[in-house]
Chain A
Amino acid sequence: MPDSLAPNLSVAAVNEPFRTRSGGRIDRAKPLSFSFDGQTYSGVAGDTLASALLAHGVHLMGRSFKYHRPRGVMTAGSDEPNALVTVSRDAGRTAPNLRATQVELYEGLSAISQNRFPSLQFDVGGINDHFAALLPAGFYYKTFMWPRSFWDRVYEPVIRASAGLGKVPTAPDPDRYLQRNAHCEVLVIGAGPAGLTAALAAAESGLRVILCDEQSELGGSLLADTTSMIAGKPARVWLTETLAELATFSNVTLLPRTTGFGYYPHNHVGLVERVTDHLASPDSAQPRERMWQVRAKEVVLATGAFERPLTFPENDRPGIMLADAATTFVNRYGVKPGKRAVIAAANDSGYRAALALAEAGVEIAMIADLRRNPSGSGYDAARRAGLSIETGKTIAGTSGKMRVDGASIASVGEDGKVWNTQDIGCDLLLMAGGWTPTLHLYSQSLSKLKWDDAIQAYVPGAVAASQALRAAGAASGAYGLDAALSTGFKAGAEAAVAAGGDGVTTRVFVTISAEADASTFLGAMPHNRDANRVRAFVDFQNDSTAKDLKLAVREGFRSVEHAKRYTTTGMATDQGKTSNMPMLGVMAQAQGKTIPEIGFTTFRPPFTPTTFGNFAGAARGDLFDPIRRTAIHHWAEGQGAVFEDVGQWKRARYFPRQGEDMHAAVARECKAVRSALGIFDASTLGKIEVVGPDAAEFMNRMYINPWTKLGVGRCRYGVMLREDGFVYDDGVVGRIAEDRFHVTTTTGGAASVLNMMEDYLQTEWPGLNVWLTSATEQWAVIALQGPKAREVLAPFVEGIDLSPAAFPHMAIAEGRICGVKTRLFRVSFTGELGFEINVPPSAARRVWEALYAEGRKHSITPYGTETMHVLRAEKGFIIVGQETDGTATPDDVGLTWAIGKAKKDFVGKRSLARPGMTDPKRKQLVGLLSVDNRTVLEEGAQIVADPKQPKPMTVLGHVTSSYMSAALGHPIALALVEAGRSRMGETLQVLVPGKGSVAVKLVSPVFYDAEGASLDAV
């Protein structure tokens, strides 16, 4: 924003009665039009929504959370608790709860107020304020309990409706959010005088520096400083020159509108840059926000300080604001926040504000200083200016409804006695309560805060292990411009050195500026009214008062965390920026303790509220999680396949033809495989190459099966357990050579099986000479299954004799197909003659299409996972994850035969001997046939002996898989049933909720071709 050095009497001055005639960092030549609650106003470039409304004398900007009290703007920055608005571009681009003090004005901006009905001026919720006596802290814990059913039906909905602030957008947010990583040696957060000099010092070392600030312009307090001189120049000129100097460094990144929101382990800092919110017509190529994940060697926190409000009765009326906020509105935005001001001062900030207001033509009715003997440059200047100063004064109350119209000023003695109340008319009441260093990020880093009695504030203490940060300027408790500039430069130089930089210089910044002042007052200000009746607000947004905090203490909530939670103080959307220290002051008073004895609440990220979009970034839709597609995917898509998600893979579930539902398609596919030929994409199966002189020994240890005697060129079905004895994975393993196994895993298990193998190999048996390589992406797998499989396959294969004798069931051979290398398995998960053709993915589509073309002679039929499931169930083959669920032993699912009996040890073996694993009452895999021969059972359905028993029923087992078998013409199911193998032939009942039960007969889980005749069909 350019300085408007020359007075420019434009429309702004005419239309905006509270706009100053000149000055500020606004551009009076650029008028803007905006609306608030439907009414159109004017503003100028450089305004915030708050400053533009104040230019029209509008202070009422919100309603409080609990009592719905009218509230005006209280601050000029990110600590604002009151002026919360919803800004909307359209239904999806609607953002609730924005602080009017941070919303940059643009042409056409549309904002509405919140938490009021029907209007901000007249809010029926304001009735709560009249019943405030009935609504002390925690009132809801003590009532709303009768009758019992009324809580969630009556009371809670009413409470919910009156709570909340803005409304959720009604349409999806169409904007984009991006994230980027950044590395730098020195990250400086906050670009006020301390941050600027820190960045300068670090920049000179040549290291990478990032300087960010939450505001639209870099400069911090300098943006509103019209009186100080730095190095012989006005502060604003020094700022302009310094920013220009920083811009000349190629190693410096300057980020305005960028908030450091979170400090994470190992110096990982999250920044959010607001890219387009301030623009009237954002470029759609730009993201709305960009998250910077910065990994900084060193961090300098130059985050300044927040001014403290004062806790006096009725301190919450519109027109009551922080002194420094008033200074900012006048000096930076050229706006007078009122006509006649009273200033309640416990710190020189009040004098600074009074002088700035007076110069802009605001009448200063009184500076009521709580201190008895104030002194210093601010006091002297105010005195010289002839302002009315009264000392030893407290505020005993205020008047006014939608706007403050008077303050009761009273004398206060050293003993706290209050007398001589006088009412003074005003439309602006400023609070100068002293300062709180902004140490949110410091605390988030787990670094310690320590109490500094001299400035009555927490300041940086010991830095947390594995973090590297320091604070400078007001954030470190070093108040005043001099200290900010010097401690900033020093911190920047030290950070640069710590980060390995050299060439750091020293600089001295000579200033003429107001003396630093750390005076403050914490706790409820003294007054002579009934303390049980008046309300002095501590958390303005959540409406918690000094009285509430005292009640909490009275009821035993002595811990600051308890009082915070009981009264909700510090839990509003400003997260206590204006309320934390006043809360500690009141609690200390109430308990007769010092503030450090009270303790403090933990700071949590984010520093200011941060959009969900910022965190989610680009992860939406297809980018939410990678999509894995096989080489055959697009072919299947072209055939109209319906896909399912299996892990990250897309797998073809079935291939419906016109008019078919899933059941019809699956029945057709099943028949085709059993009668002629089916083709199936098994590429998603995990593949691991186990190679080395000790490969067989490694396999012996990892799998339950014996591998030593498996011949080269032969395959075996392998089962892997976890060390706790439960089935973890399964798959066919082929022996390619003495020292080489081709291991297949389940689709979902591929990565974790490899990880488990690597774990044992690397950490338990490093002496085994074995290498493991994931080969999942190296081989596409085409399963050709059905009586015609060999006939169709043979013409394409070179180098492998496919005759039954030379290439029997469970054989594997390497050769060529369609001119490319293949690992050909003769295996069958269907019970039919079958081959699994492993080829490089680049050739898979060509091989698939060649086989498909050849197979058309036999009506080759592509089938999906659903048909695969039916065919294997007909054969009684389990699916890990369906028949097993992480709680099944090999014996439970009928795999005891696979265990290498002679093996002394394998992963999981010892666990199988535990009593719980050998219990005869364990559930065992069985087949189920519906006695009526037509009911297809529901998967997951529960099996009982007596369906009429009372609940909770004694359940004997559950259905794991259930299908209509096209081959058999009746339904089949697999189930796990308590001692199932000893119940063969028994009839049990499968519950059908709401409909009773279905009688089932327990049978062998192998329904089709138990002899395996089809495997060798010719």
Chain B
Amino acid sequence: MERFSGLSLLRHALGGHQGWKPFWREPEPKAEYDAVIVGGGGHGMGAAYYLAKEHGLRNIAVLDKGWLGGGNTGRNTTIIRSNYLFPESAALYDHALKIWETLSQDLNYNTMFSPRGVLMLAHTVHDVQVFKRHVFANQAAGVDNEWLTAEECKAYCPALNISQNIRYPVVGGALQRRGGTARHDAVVWGYARAADAMGVDIIQNCAVTGIRRDASGAVEGVETERGFIRTKKVGVSAAGNTSVVMSMAGLRMPLESFPLQALVSEPVKPDFPCVVMSNTIHAYISQSDKGEMVIGAGTDAYTSYTQRGGLHIASHTLDAICELVPMYRRLRMLRNWGGIVDTTPDRSPIISKTPVKGLYVNCGWGTGGFKATPGSANLFAHTIAKDEPHPINAPFSLDRFVTGRFIDEAAAAAVAH
């Protein structure tokens, strides 16, 4: 793999940039692999990378039904944070955050991780109680998170309106300074390039159509649009389409897939220095390097695979944005799109073995999977390679829906009183 640097850029400039090589090969699928990952998003591509790098499994393939990173990896608002309430969650997301911090150097590809701070706003007495509990829990867990007064929020993010003239005035916020954003496409491209260099076959436009199992029920291989591929290990990392793929092995999942919308404004000069989230009024906003305001909207109410949703959903989130930053009312929406998010009953992910031998699944990330990408990929690779979960992802098993050992971040944050 050619090492990227300012110097390599200069060298290639002299050659009119004719000498750059493809980031990845376009191989024909082999008849057999040691492991096959279904889904070439950040989580799946990353899992292949860590399987090759940390577990020495190099005869592996990543299959995607479309183009790499074409699912939620390329459709999210790139928020990265780890200030989750429960110790299991904080450990999982902080594992990811620590990898983010050195990912560009590790992949020799600039993923533009920018720890510009994630500020979660409180608007009610109940919010204050919930966020302070988060702050205290995170501090005990060794995850940075601090409480700011409304005035401190304003000092950190001057664009915010903290006056009393809005329906739910800002009363404070929880700030994770290590949180921030990254360049979503770069993550999957960086993983793909590095994995390819270690021999991983990346096969795009190759949908899986079946999972073949032997007499004992164990995985024997996958049927694909380009023929049967023999393998004893299949890792499914298919986000919104996980239920569809898992049903090929006869498994019904505790998942429902909803449209999740996001949007960007036209680019403007730097004005919004950090990430701001408000669960209470449903506003999620940051500004990209290009200058676009990147805004997350809510999920539509119903399950759908259309990758689009209703006008009222985007409108609702812009109500909230215009309340928080009334100067932005004249900014203009440039593009509004949708992804398909797979949600679990407790809104925490599943990184797990399954009742089918040789079949592993990484799913259920709901609206927040991007932030976990490197950690999730790393732990999924471990689970596939060792045939047992890493201690960090052990609590995130499929089994918890049977035992009732939920990790219910949503309930803990959102119940009313």
Contacts and interface: CB of A to CB of B under 8 A. Distances in A.
A, B assembled together = yes
Contacts of A151: 104, 110, 112-114
A544 interface: no
A609 B332 contact: yes
Interface stretch (A10-18, A830-838, A910-918): A910-918
Contact of B9 (A95, A139, A644): A139
B17 A532 contact: yes
Interface string B12-35: 110011101111101000000000
A455 to B, nearest CB: 27
B8 A616 contact: no
B53 to A, nearest CB: 18
A573 B268 contact: no
Nearest to A648: B167
A617 B336 CA distance: 17
B132 A938 contact: yes
Contacts of B361: none
Q: How large is the interface on A (under 10, 10 to 19, 20 to 34, 35 or more residues)?
A: 35 or more
Contact of A747 (B133, B334, B416): B416
Contact of A609 (B66, B159, B334): B334
B16 A530 contact: yes
A268 B311 contact: yes
Nearest to A644: B125
B166 A624 contact: yes
Contacts of B271: 167-168
B167 A627 contact: yes
B394 interface: no
A357 to B, nearest CB: 33
A877 to B, nearest CB: 13
Contacts of B411: 726, 885-887
A94 B8 CA distance: 43
Interface in A727-754: 746-749
Interface in A366-383: none
B400 interface: yes
B333 interface: yes
B80 interface: no
Interface in A129-186: 133-134, 136, 139-146, 148, 151-152, 156-157, 159-161, 163-173, 175, 177
B136 A938 contact: yes
A952 B133 contact: no
Interface stretch (A493-501, A556-564, A840-848): A556-564
A915 B403 contact: yes
A958 interface: yes
A881 B133 CA distance: 13
Q: How large is the interface on B (under 10, 10 to 19, 20 to 34, 35 or more residues)?
A: 35 or more
Interface stretch (B42-50, B138-146, B219-227, B244-252): B138-146
A884 B266 contact: no
A144 to B, nearest CB: 6
Contact of A561 (B24, B67, B309): B67
B200 interface: no
B22 A940 contact: no
A726 B415 CA distance: 12
Contacts of B190: 141
Interface in A861-900: 879-882, 884-887
B416 A746 contact: yes
Contacts of B16: 530, 532-533
B123 interface: yes
A293 interface: yes
A419 B324 CA distance: 61
Contact of B290 (A139, A164, A547, A557): A164
Contacts of B400: 916
A843 B22 CA distance: 78
Contact of A612 (B87, B321, B402): B321
Given A532-B18, A952-B141, A953-B140, A168 B125 contact: no
A911 B404 CA distance: 8
A168 B327 contact: yes
A262 interface: yes
A410 B289 CA distance: 41
Contacts of A991: 136, 139-140
Interface in A747-767: 747-749
Interface in A614-653: 615-617, 619-625, 627, 644-647, 653
Interface of B: 4-6, 8-10, 12-13, 16-18, 20-24, 26, 66-68, 70, 74, 87, 90-91, 101-102, 104-105, 108-110, 112-116, 123-126, 129-130, 132-137, 139-143, 159, 161, 165-168, 180, 183, 185-186, 189-190, 204, 265-271, 281, 287, 289-291, 306, 308-311, 314-315, 318-323, 326-337, 345, 400, 402-406, 408, 410-412, 414-417
Given A556-B26, A914-B403, 8 more contacts: A167-B271, A170-B327, A446-B308, A606-B335, A611-B333, A885-B412, A919-B405, A991-B136
Interface of A: 65, 92-97, 133-134, 136, 139-146, 148, 151-152, 156-157, 159-161, 163-173, 175, 177, 262, 264-265, 268, 270, 293, 444, 446, 530, 532-533, 547, 551, 554-559, 561-562, 565-566, 568, 573, 575, 602, 604-606, 609-613, 615-617, 619-625, 627, 644-647, 653, 724-726, 746-749, 879-882, 884-887, 911, 914-917, 919, 938-942, 944, 951-953, 955, 958, 991, 993
8 contacts: A139-B9, A165-B267, A168-B268, A262-B336, A573-B266, A573-B334, A942-B139, A952-B87
